[in-house]
Structure 1
């Protein structure tokens, strides 16, 4: 894992992975779910879980929209550390953020908290679970059991959001069928 401090770009295995940007420069992509909630007349989210919290862009936007608590789950200690020490908005320093260095599936299975919003935020490890299988670390987040765990931790009117650069259309179709 490498960080270009000038651009804020993080690379994993020499592949562009994510980029840390101040809230003011990021536009609304990370804010979209909060804007939709706001413009539809919904109350701001209070309790949020972000799986794939990474360097903190999703955290920074959630904080700007007034969340009371964010469980920030990240599996990669190097990326979490980069976010803690280098994100321009310093979201990990906010007392409303509770960082968890944990596997997202494990955290989903073991938490007893309930959430207004659960986000799978660009969960893309760019590495395989094993050199002997075409299974990526995040593959376990996309099972029926994992989606049942998401339902279990959502409050009555809670919302689940996932986003990524899904390179194959069938992935979106299959996930929608499991919902």
Structure 2
């Protein structure tokens, strides 16, 4: 949908560089463009994914998918396993990681053109393969923690951008967000 799609800034000499498979989603009641719904980054779209994170001043990324389901790749690993990773002009540093029963929280520092921003990455790891969870409590906890992180990082970074959510099940996340 053209009116809701995220448009990246055009790179010099590349008019097609504005495209990313992502759309703004309004939140509950007055939250205009509270979220960006997108596909998980592929090997050839990781740099564009980080361009979007930077351009839109995203404080929190929510990943509710596995890297593989039924031996099929669903998402490329785009966060560092260890200390840091370089994706195009973006240096991504892993500052900390917290393990919860059903999800992981990573604090990332993204550096671009000598500016640094902190972003939290939530990875829900307990979603059953080709199914839905039996209990919803861990997802409700995740939603509450994402909202707290968004508020905390908005204060820290002095801005408030949309929360990025990527997965096949993102609509459930949006529904839970609106009722929690």
TM-score of the aligned structures, taking structure 2 as reference length: 0.36
1 or 2, which has the higher helix percentage? 1
TM-score of the aligned structures, taking structure 1 as reference length: 0.36
1 or 2, which has the higher strand percentage? 2
